[in-house]
Amino acid sequence: MLLEAKLKCNKDHIPYRIYIDGELITERFYTIASKDTVSNDLVVELVDANDYDVKIESLSDTQVHLVDYTIRKIPNENT
């Protein structure tokens, strides 16, 4: 499965972490908030499951928000 997440923050260089099902996925990422940036995107391949719990931990007083995420199956390479 591929999880595609969109994150948003109004300030640049704000550190954050992403957890999926309680597991730390990113140790420390930083936001980009330029006039041309619509969102900060993360794509990660995961083990198949019915649902995922995605949480964002801001590492400063400025909040980083999870705007949306989608999950899609990876096409089978053998077909």
Residue-range domain boundaries for the chain? 2-72
pTM: 0.75
Residue 37: how many other CB atoms lie within 10 Å: 13
pLDDT tens, the chain, 79 aa long: 888 888 888 888 889 999 999 999 888 888 887 776 667 788 888 888 878 888 999 999 999 988 888 888 887 766 5
- Predicted confidence at residue 61, as pLDDT, reads 94
Measure the CA–CA gap between 71 and 2, rounded to whole angstroms: 6
Which SS3 state, helix, strand or coil, does residue 11 take? coil
